[in-house]
Amino acid sequence: DNFANVEGKLDEVAVFDRALKPQEIAAHFQASGLPVRTQAAVPLQPSSPPLSPAESLARIHVPSGFKVELAAAEPLLESPVALDWDTQGRLWVVEMVDYPLGLDGKGQPGGRVRRLEDSDGDGRYDQSTLFAEGLKFPTGILTWRDGVLVTAAPEILFLRDTDGDGRVDSRQVLFSGFLEGNQQLRVNGLRWGLDNWVYCASGAHHGGYGATTRIKSHLNGQDYAIGSRDFRFKPDTGELDPQSGPSQFGRNPDDWGNWFGVQNSWPLWHYVLADPYLRRNPYVAAPDPVHQVVTPKNPPVFPASAPEKRFHSFNEAGHFTSACAAQIYRDDWLFGATEDRHAFTSEPFHNLVQHNLVRDEGVSFSARRGEAEGERDFFASEDRWCRPVMTRTGPDGALWVLDMYRYMIEHPEWLPPEGQADLLPHYRLGEERGRLYRVYAQTRPPRPWTPLGKLTLPQLVETLGSPNGWQRDQAQMLLLWNRDPAAVALLQDQVRQRPNAFARLHALAALDGLDALTPELIELALADSHPGIRRHALRLGERRFSPGILVAAEKLVNDPDPKVRLQLACTLGEWTDLRAGQALGRLAVANYQDPF
C-alpha cells in the first residue's frame, strides 16, 4: 500500500497475474531497484476445508439433555433450502444448486426437487430420487395432492409424476409475474393455513423497489396486484389474496392462526393486523401491521464458530445479519407442555439456530432467549461451512434443521467490490454438499408416526387432535382433498364433544373447507372456553352472518383475552348491521393501553 515502507525490506517481489494490473504494480517496485518476477496466480484456497458429514456432526452443539443426529447428507441431497413431507411419509427437498448466480455465473438455472425415503425405518434417509431439475433458483415446497407446489420466480409451479417413474412429467404454471433478481429475496415459503389457503412470503422484490408487482393466475385468468405484501392462494382454483408483509424468507404460523415473519436483521415479528381489514378503507393510511417480537434490531447471537471475515457492517459481528425461516415449533414432544411458544430462527452466516421463548403479551407477543442455551445458541456449529437455512417441526416431533452447507452464504450483491474480488473463487464452494439434522430430547426419541395416507377416515379425523401441528395440517388437507361426505358428521361431533382444543379448532376449519359449517356450530365456538377457538370462530362468522352469530359475537366485547377483542373489532367491520356498529362503539371507548 505504501511503497516507501516496503523499499529496502524485500529481496524480490512476485507480482501475481490477477485483476490488479500487475504491470503497474511492478513499475513501482522496479523504480526502487528491486528485481521483479511475474508469475501466474495461485488458486486461492478457502480459509477452512469442508468437513465430512460425520466430522461436521461432531462439531454441532445443542443444550444438555438434547441430541442431534444426521438424517441425510450428500450425495442424497445437495444445496438444500426447503423441505416438506407427503402423505406417504416421504421427504421432498428443493435444492438451490444454482446459488448464487447460476450454474454458469450468469443466471443459468439449475435448481432441483429431490425425494428422499427411509427404506429401513432407522430414521436416516437412504434412498434419493431426482424428481425435477433445471428450475430457476427454487425457494419453497409444499406437498399437494399427488405432487408438489414449488416457488421458483417468476413462477409458482405444480409438479407431478403421472406415469410412476419417479420423475416429473406434468409441469403446470399456477402463477407467474414474481420478480427475480437477488436469489435471497424471491417469492418463497408455501405454508398451509387454518383458513384452507396456502400462504407465501413475497421476499423483498416488490413494488417498493419501483417495480409493479402484478401476478397472473393461469387457473382463472385474473391479474392480482400484491405490491409489497405477502399473499395467500388457492392451488386448485387460482384465487390470490394479498396479506400483510413482506417477509424475506419464511412466513410461518403458530397453532392458532397467528402468522410470523422475518428479515435479515429482525429475527421474528408477528403480523398483528391482517391486510384484508387494513385495505377496507382506501382513504385511510394503514398503520404498520407488524410487531417486532425479538428485539432490538440485529440482536446478539451466540455462535460456536470463530468469527468470519466481514466486508461491511463491522459493528454487527456477533449479531443477527442473516436471520431467516423463523418458525414456531408446533408440538409438545421437544420441550413438554409449556406456557411458552418456542421460536427458532436460522442464522446461517453465524452457523447457528437461535431459540427464543415466546409468550402472549396483549394483542401480540414478547420473547426472551431460552435459559438453557447458556453461552451458545440452541443449535451452534463450529464448522464454518454449516449453514442452517430452515428448521421445521417434523411429523415425529423432532426439530429438523436443513443445512445448505456452503463455504460462502452471503450473496455477492451484498458485498463491496473488495469483498466480491476476495470471495470470487469461492462463490459456489459446497454446491455438491448438503446436510439434514434432527434434534430431540435424549429422554424422548422421535415419536413413531404412520403416514397419513394410510389412515382410515375416522383415524384421519382423530388426527385433527394430534399435538403435532404438521400432522393436524396434513389431516385437514386430506379431508378437503377426499371430500368424503361421511366426514361431516364426524367433524361436527368433534366440535361439539371433544375436550381437545386442537380437535375442535381443526374440525371447524375442515368443515369450513367442506362448505359444511353451520351457524349453530359457529355460535357454539364463539362461546368456547379456549380464546384461540373464539378468535377463529369470529373469522369464520364473517362470511356467514346471522342474527344468532351477531348476538354471540356481541358478548365478546368484554372478553378477557385482548387478541379476541382485537379480532372482534376487525370482524364487526365486515358486517353492516346496526348492532355491529354499536358493539364497535363500545370497543372504541374502552381506553385500551395498546397502540394496535
Q: pLDDT exceeding 90 applies to what percent of the chain?
A: 76
How far is it, in rounded angstroms, from Cα 402 to Cα 133?
Answer: 20
The secondary structure element, H or E, covering residue 175 is strand 170-176
Of residues 6 and 411, more confidently modeled = 411
Q: How far apart are CA 542 and CA 580, in angstroms?
A: 12
How remote is the C-alpha of 129 from its chain's centroid?
24
Distances 110 to 84, 106, 185, 190, 431 between C-alpha atoms, Å? 20, 12, 18, 21, 11
Band of pLDDT at residue 131, cut at 50, 70 and 90:
very high
Question: What number is the average pLDDT over the span 408-426?
Answer: 71
Instruction: Decide if 506 contacts 479 (C-beta within 8 A).
Output: no
Q: Which residues contact 166 (CB under 8 A, 6 or more apart)?
A: 115, 129, 131
Coil, strand or helix at 193? coil
Percent helix, strand, coil in the chain (nearest 5)?
Answer: 25, 25, 45
Short-list 178, 267, 265, 193, CA closest to 229? 178
The reported pLDDT for the residue numbered 412 is: 72
Average pLDDT over residues 537-555: 97
391, 399 contact by CB (below 8 A): yes
Could you report the per-residue pLDDT of 189-203, keeping only the tens digit for each?
999 999 999 999 998
Q: Which helix (DSSP H) or strand (DSSP E) does residue 493 occupy?
A: helix 487-497
What per-residue confidence (pLDDT) applies to 286? 87
Contact 580, 570 (CB under 8 A): no
The pLDDT tens digits for 146-181 are: 999 999 999 999 999 999 999 999 999 999 999 887
Q: What is the mean pLDDT of residues 363-380?
A: 91
Q: How far apart are CA 45 and CA 26, in angstroms?
A: 25
Which range, of 4-13, 24-33, 346-355, 462-471, averages the lowest pLDDT? 4-13
How many residues are listed for the chain in this entry? 596
Q: Give pLDDT, residue 426.
A: 75
Over 70: is that where the pLDDT of 35 sits?
Answer: no
How far apart are the C-alpha atoms of 140 and 201, rounded to whole Å? 10
β-pairing verdict for 36-40 and 13-17: parallel
- Nine cell digits for residue 517: 359449517
Question: Rounded to whole angstroms, what are the CA distances from 153 to 159, 187, 199, 208, 429?
Answer: 15, 6, 15, 17, 24
Q: Contact, 382 vs 371, CB < 8 A?
A: no
What pLDDT sits at residue 38? Answer: 54
pTM of the model: 0.90
Comparing 1-10, 45-54, 540-549, the range with the smallest average pLDDT is: 1-10
Which residues fall within 8 angstroms of residue 576, CB to CB, at 6 or more apart?
Answer: none
DSSP H/E element including 508: helix 501-513
Residue in the block written with cell 439456530:
353
Q: How far apart are CA 473 and CA 251, in angstroms?
A: 16
- Could you write out the DSSP letters of every residue in 218-275? TTT--EEE-TT-EEEE-TTT--EEEES---SS--EE-TTS-EEEEETTEEEEEE-S-H
Q: Give the whole-angstrom CA distance, residue 98 versus residue 431.
A: 8
pLDDT at 373: 80
Q: What are phi and psi of 66, to 5 degrees?
A: -120, 155
What is the pLDDT confidence band of residue 316, given thresholds at 50, 70 and 90? confident
CA atoms within 13 A on the CB side of 8: 2
345 three-state secondary structure: strand
pLDDT tens-digit map of 431-473:
999 999 999 999 999 999 999 999 999 999 999 999 999 999 9
The CB density around residue 578, as the number of other CB atoms within 10 Å, is 8
DSSP summary character for residue 386: -
Biggest CA pair distance of the chain: 97
Contact criterion met (CB below 8 Å) for 133 and 115: no
C-alpha cell at 241: 389474496
Q: How would you classify the pairing of strands 252-253 and 198-201? A: unpaired
Residue type at position 377: D
